[in-house]
């Protein structure tokens, strides 16, 4: 109760809800009851002990938040300690997950209390950014999260995955492709992933626990597909790419219509990417290859003879919330020189609201500090979160009414400075 009152006092609202459903971190013995809330809320069907074991690989008890109705846990949330790649660098971020409320206790403000509680905790740990994947996009804007990355899903049918010959290729020789057991390829995958993350915003660094989670493959999650397999592209100097995939044999009137499911594919160079895709897109007995969560600027589409045949579908990926606006804005780099005063509105974390002067040289360290100078751009904290990783253009957000230009030219200046190449991408759900 003490904790929840503090939270209510800090957030300034929700006092009644937080007193009715106090929030605190759980002890290990309470984990099954905590897990049960999400198990019910997400309509999960697999045996709960399988999901619990998986969750515990990465769970941080001191970052959990459970809402209680008397003795019973009726709401859950947690956060992970992440190092997130951001434009030109890395920033500490709290990755929010397990947000659930028991179906019988919904729409009483319990989730709102939990999110405010977790955001306060993230801020008190000195993390300037909160990130999450949303089960539904309508939930998190009200808490100041903006959709900062998107991804593509492909369905590539038999015969439609031919690649163009590359015009310029790396001077290195084409890599060897081999099939490995994921659990034995962790070091190779980690090296490739770290190299990709160094250049592309949106990837949370994975430590051993997160690699164990990445290759965890309970049979009940496979839906009839093979165990997870790992394709490695390597040469004498080491690994250059990998793909985690599974496959499923299927026959329709004697015709082979199997499926390949690409869970994750990462490559450090053009040849390695092309070699991995060529292997996966030309497998025998396969009717369709499905790839989930590909970057919006995936080189694959530019390599396909017929890019339309990827049948790409766009979905929202990582949602970003700036918990400490000036700290977050100074922790990334900018593509162009920028000197703009931004007026920020934030109703959930009022300490963020105010005017800040953002200054940076192209690619150099940035400063962002409170100022009394006139605003050049006004933005909601959601809009700044959406633009933070460099993929969502501020001009679009201005056209959507979330950003306003107060000095002619300032919007374009800020938008061009915040944009980043390559596009942000988070390749896994946490």
Which tokens in the block code for residue 174? 């084409």
Which tokens in the block code for residue 327? 């700290």
Bin 53: left if φ > 0, else alpha if -120 < ψ < 50, else beta. Answer: alpha
- Catalytic choice (82, 143, 334, 430): 430
Minimum separation from the CB atom of position 117 to ligand COA (A): 12
**Which C-beta is closer to ligand COA: that of 42 or that of 251?**
42
Given the DSSP bridges, would you call strands 146-147 and 150-157 parallel, antiparallel or unpaired? unpaired
Q: Which residues contact 59 (CB under 8 A, 6 or more apart)?
A: 31, 78
- Catalytic choice (140, 154, 193, 245): 140
Given the DSSP bridges, would you call strands 338-345 and 377-380 parallel, antiparallel or unpaired? parallel
- In the three-class reduction of DSSP (H, G, I as helix; E, B as strand; rest coil), residue 215 is classed as helix
Catalytic residue status for 430: yes
User: Which residue has 């938040």 as its token pair?
Assistant: 65
Which tokens in the block code for residue 105? 């206790």
Sheet of 229-235: strand order equals 176-180, 229-235, 238-248, 258-267, 286-295, 150-157, 313-316
Polymer length of the chain: 430
CA distances for 430 relative to 17, 258, 322, 427, angstroms: 27, 29, 19, 10
**Which C-beta is closer to ligand COA: that of 69 or that of 279?**
69
**Which C-beta is closer to ligand COA: that of 134 or that of 186?**
134
Which tokens in the block code for residue 420? 């980043």
**Which C-beta is closer to ligand COA: that of 211 or that of 319?**
319
Strand partners, 88: none
**Which C-beta is closer to ligand COA: that of 96 or that of 312?**
96
**Which C-beta is closer to ligand COA: that of 109 or that of 273?**
109
Minimum separation from the CB atom of position 154 to ligand COA (A): 24
Which tokens in the block code for residue 312? 């790409």
Minimum separation from the CB atom of position 302 to ligand COA (A): 33
CA angle 203, 209, 214 (to 5 degrees): 60
Minimum separation from the CB atom of position 293 to ligand COA (A): 16
For 145, the enclosing helix (H) or strand (E) is none
Minimum separation from the CB atom of position 402 to ligand COA (A): 18
Within 304-405, residue ranges assigned H as helices are 325-330, 381-387, 394-399
**Which C-beta is closer to ligand COA: that of 108 or that of 393?**
108
Minimum separation from the CB atom of position 43 to ligand COA (A): 8
- Catalog residues that contact ligand COA under the rule CB under 6 A: 41-42, 99-101, 106-112, 134-136, 138-139
Which tokens in the block code for residue 248? 């499923």
**Which C-beta is closer to ligand COA: that of 106 or that of 283?**
106
Where would I find the beta strands (DSSP E) of 25-148? 64-69, 72-86, 89-101, 129-133, 146-147
The CB density around residue 164, as the number of other CB atoms within 10 Å, is: 12
CA-to-CA distance for 336 and 124, rounded, in angstroms?
A: 32
Which tokens in the block code for residue 254? 């004697």
Minimum separation from the CB atom of position 74 to ligand COA (A): 9
Minimum separation from the CB atom of position 29 to ligand COA (A): 23
Q: Which residues are catalytic?
A: 140, 430
């Amino acid at each position: 109760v003490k904790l929840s009152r503090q939270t209510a006092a800090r957030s300034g609202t929700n006092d009644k809800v937080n007193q009715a459903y106090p929030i605190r971190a759980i002890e290990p013995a309470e984990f099954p009851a905590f897990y049960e809330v999400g198990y019910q809320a997400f309509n999960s069907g697999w045996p709960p002990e399988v999901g619990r074991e998986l969750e515990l690989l990465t769970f941080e008890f001191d970052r959990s938040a459970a809402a209680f109705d008397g003795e019973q846990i009726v709401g859950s949330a947690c956060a992970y300690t992440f190092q997130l790649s951001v434009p030109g660098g890395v920033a500490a971020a709290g990755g929010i997950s397990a947000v659930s409320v028991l179906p019988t206790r919904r729409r009483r403000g319990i989730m709102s209390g939990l999110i405010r509680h977790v955001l306060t905790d993230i801020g008190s740990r000195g993390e300037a950014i909160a990130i999450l994947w949303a089960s539904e996009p309508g939930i998190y804007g009200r808490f100041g999260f903006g959709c900062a990355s998107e991804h593509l899903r492909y369905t590539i049918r038999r015969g439609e995955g031919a690649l163009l010959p590359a015009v310029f290729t790396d001077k290195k020789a084409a890599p060897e492709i081999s099939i490995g057991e994921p659990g034995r390829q962790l070091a190779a995958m980690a090296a490739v992933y770290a190299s990709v993350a160094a250049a592309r915003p949106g990837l949370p660094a994975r430590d051993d626990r997160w690699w164990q989670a990445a290759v965890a493959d309970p049979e009940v999650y496979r839906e009839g597909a093979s165990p997870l397999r790992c394709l490695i592209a390597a040469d004498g100097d080491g690994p250059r790419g990998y793909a985690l995939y599974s496959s499923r044999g299927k026959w329709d009137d004697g015709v082979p219509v199997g499926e390949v499911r690409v869970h994750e594919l990462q490559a450090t160079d053009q040849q390695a990417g092309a070699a991995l895709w060529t292997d996966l897109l030309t497998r025998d007995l396969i009717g369709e290859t499905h790839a989930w969560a590909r970057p919006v600027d995936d080189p694959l589409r530019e390599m396909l003879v017929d890019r339309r045949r990827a049948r790409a579908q766009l979905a929202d990926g990582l949602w970003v919330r700036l918990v400490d606006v000036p700290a977050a804005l100074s922790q990334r780099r900018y593509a162009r020189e920028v000197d703009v005063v931004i007026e920020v509105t934030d109703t959930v974390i009022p300490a963020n609201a105010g005017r800040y002067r953002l200054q940076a040289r192209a690619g150099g360290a940035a400063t962002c500090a409170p100022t009394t100078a006139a605003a050049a751009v006004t933005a909601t904290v959601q809009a700044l979160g959406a633009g933070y990783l460099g993929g969502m253009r501020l001009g679009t957000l201005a056209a959507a009414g979330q950003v306003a230009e107060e000095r002619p030219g300032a919007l374009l200046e800020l938008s061009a400075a915040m944009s980043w190449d390559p596009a942000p991408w988070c390749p896994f759900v946490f």
